[in-house]
Amino acid sequence: MNFRKGIEPGDEGFQIAPMIDVVFIILVFFVTIAAMEENEKEIEIKPPRSASSAPIRRRTYEIVVNVKQDGTIIVNRNAWDLPTLRSRLKMLSSSGEIDSSVMIRADALTLHQNVVNVIDACMDADISRFSFITVEAQDEADR
C-alpha cells in the first residue's frame, strides 16, 4: 500500500506556525523579565546620587536587597528581618549550584549601620560579590 501516492516531492514552503510559536515564547520571556525588574523599582527607595554611577548589568542569580529609610529589608516585595536574610543567603550560597551575588539598593537617607548589617549578612553567607545601586547625579547641587 502506497499512502504517499498523491504527494509529489518538492518545496514544502515556509511554515508560519512554528515561527509564531517561537515569537510567542520569546515575548512571554521578555514580559516576565520586565515584570520582575519592575517589582524592584516600585519600592519607595531613593538611592544615593553618584557622579561615577554606571548602568547596571544584572547577573542571572543576582539578589536585590532593598534597604528602606527606616532600615526595613525588602527582598522580592517581602519584608525580611536580618536573621531571615542571613539564613536565606546562607541557604542560597550553600547550595553550590550557583555563583550568587547581591545588589544592595539602599535609600540615601538610611543609616549606614543598616547597610553594614546587610553586608555582614552577605559575608556570613560567603557571598563576597555585592554591589550598590546609585543613580546618576544630575547637576552640581546633587553632588
Counting residues of the chain whose pLDDT is more than 70, the rounded percentage is: 72
SS3 content of the chain, % helix, strand, coil (to 5): 40, 15, 45
CATH fold for the domain made of 45-142: Nucleotidyltransferase; domain 5 (3.30.420)
Q: What mean pLDDT is reported for the chain?
A: 80
Using a cut of 0.85, tell me whether the model's pTM lies above it.
no
pLDDT digits (tens, 9 = 90+) for 33-57: 777 666 566 567 777 777 776 666 6
Instruction: Tell me how far apart the alpha carbons of residues 41 and 59 are, in angstroms, rounded to a whole number.
Output: 17
Judged against a pLDDT cut of 90, whether residue 25 lies above it is answered with yes
The structural domains of the chain, with segments of one domain joined by +, span 13-42, 45-142
Contact 86, 121 (CB under 8 A): yes
pLDDT digits (tens, 9 = 90+) for 99-114: 678 889 899 899 999 9
